[in-house]
Structure 1
Amino acid sequence: MEVLNLIIERNIKEKGGFNYHWGCDGLKISHVCFADDLMLFSQADECSVRILKESLEDFSGVSGLIPNLNKSTIYFGNVNNHLQHLIKGLLPFKVGVLPVRYLGIPLLSKRLYSKDCSVLIDKVRKKLNDWKNKFLSFDGRLQLIRHFNLYDIWCPLSPLCSFITVRDIHRPGLTTRSTVNEIVVNGGWSWPVEWQNKFPSLFNLNVPSLVDGKRDVLMWKSREEKHMPFCTSEVYKDLCVHRQSVQWAKVMWFSQSIPRHAFILWLAYQVRLLTQDRLDRWEVRSDLLCPFCQLQMDSHYHLFFECDYPSEVWDCLKGLGMLNDAPPNRKGCVDFLAKQHMGRSFRSIIQRLVLAAMFYFIWQERNLRLFQDKYRTVEELCKVIEKL
């Protein structure tokens, strides 16, 4: 949705005549995105609605996404019929009635009270009461058990309720909560007699070794087919997709690293920062220029460290970070450190901390200039990094 944000912002700025909704004028809010939903706000005038419509059309042109008319609704507040007719001609959405609810909650400008959420609360209570009080058939009970019980896979046929019906379980006096211990007597099986012909495979199972007075222990079978006590960390390791480790990982991730610095360095190395050259692929703006040099669009290669401002930051701090021999470019400096011995030495830690800080604060300075019109000189930025 970042592209849509840029398109709406550009059209409002370039076309002029857009009037914000009275409740959104102070913060200049024209739209709100939440999950897969989009809400547009404006005053009820033809010019404002036309700008929103053209923004949606521009977005559809670059993304291929088109608003679903059957799921789109327009709401009017104190708007005369003639103006409503004109606006519906521009945006042929179905007309809704205020107040409107979203996800069961009324959209109000005032504080919400319990009575405002009563419909949602009633729905939740109704569902809970259904599960508690509704009389389920045997098949229904079995389905409920399958979804909400944790089974102990104690034999190859487990869980037994996958082929033994609830009726067959209850006939001999057992329940769905019966344990293996109840059907093992003097070291042998004590299955119900009527199950012998119906479920003969049960009588051929090996009798497990049970210890009186000792509780069951939850075990985990690892990828290497080893049984071990259940441990969250071991389960996580087994469930993770194992890939070959990369040399540059320790440049970013180490015990003394600053997480936000390391994260920006990782994004930059993976060419995943939202630089202007990536937005240009959508063809939403033609006036994108690097906030440092104003000569070309910024990119990962330009920001780290081809542009004059980042290059001066590099020259100022490479001595502090003992990076004099490192190539002054995004990938080269990381690969240079990756080939070094990265232990717990003071030199190794300082090198990685300074490098990540340079990437982080150059990206921060870029965003401050673009979005907040704030500027720091090279000397000021270097002093901020040196004080860390």
Structure 2
Amino acid sequence: MSPFLFVLVMEVLTLILLQRIEQNGGFSYHWRCDRIQLFQLGFADDLLLFSKADPNSVRLFKEGLTVFAELSGLQANLQREGHLPLRYLGLPLLASRLSVADCRPILQKIERVFGVGTVYWAMAFILPKHVIKEIEKRLRNFLWKGSIETGYAKVSWKQVCRPVNEGGLGIRDIHALNKSLMSRHLWRLIAQERSSIWVNWIFHYRLQHYSVWTISTRSGTWGWRKLIRLRDSLRPCITYRIGDGTSFSLWHDPWHARGALISHFPLGPQHTSLPTTAPLCMVILEESWNWPSVTNMESIDITHELPTIHGGPDRILWTGPQGSFSAAAAYTVFCPPGPTVGWSSLLGGTFKIPRHRFILWLAILGRLSTMDKPWLQHLGPTCVLCQEDVMESHEHLFFMCSYATRCILAIRRVVSFHWPYSSWPTVIRWASVRWRGKHVVVRRTELFWLPLYTTCGGSAIFGFSNTPRGLRRT
């Protein structure tokens, strides 16, 4: 059955149950659902019904399901049973803390297909630190060894996860990615998206008279505590634009320059005779501030540095990266950008083979496994290209090796393009400036120059065989 058709059919069931609940006064909502009058949730081909465990409520559900079965031919599976903890759509449904054992399926899936499932889990849970380390360990080993076996690395994983323009490979940091994806749920609470059943439920049963900013991080479930602790990282990127003040809490929302007033002036409600549940509109009159007369210094301090009242509806704005909230914008909050490098353009473009780009990246960082590295000096001072008894280094491979020199001179005649043939850093700086754009000469030079230099660099990794040289552990 088409998913859309199934949704339409389930709407009929919802209307049948709703009609019976409204016509029969004997139905009792579940004690955690009565404030929002929630009695059913449906996802895919699964249906959850909520009510108080009394005969009248159960009877209404049973009658509604019977009528629905007569109309649609769809019968409820009464043999299906389940209890927590269980798995649904590949994720564990837990009433307790997420453990490493609960996350074992994602680690097993990474062993079969690298990277699959990580984002899916990261969107649903704050992953334990040990699980994140295991995921990164598997990804790191695959990058350097091609398998999940314990391997060695030439570049630290922290630098690998930096963006390309900062000298990395652009691989996402799992810890920051997890926080940025989960912060989407927190943003929906901050932005008060009441159209969401989950947000509406949180406001009625979890926050109640508090706000996201003032509720304790020590109460609630493990997942809730982990989620709410992300608020301090998002706070600098959020601005409260005051309109009519009906949507903001006077004491609990950070509309003031000092943040939530209840945190700085705990006796404010007592001195101003304004209850802790008061909305901000209680001190606004005709788009102007209208605070009650107070004499104590603490209450007087509140009226200092008052923001501008703009009128209209209240708005909560994301003033962080990218101008509007998204998981990508939140990622830059948890993984702030660093200094950029000038040679990142050499690694981009459609003409560059990934293998060439990777070896060139190692060469630019000076991390090729040349013989001058302390952990390879036991192999002897012999260049694998020219077979001369000389200590192999980056400078030798690209500028002093007789074999590489003959190749470079031959290619220069074909390309009819010249570059400074002095030192590796000089060439990189020169190429970063000159090799920009899509000019045919630039493209033709890239096609010849990059394979040559990455081949020379590849010899420092593989020599003339398929057996990699030893790699340094980080």
Taking structure 1 as the reference length, the TM-score comes to 0.44
| Relative contact order, higher structure (CA 8 A, sep 6+) | 2
Taking structure 2 as the reference length, the TM-score comes to 0.37
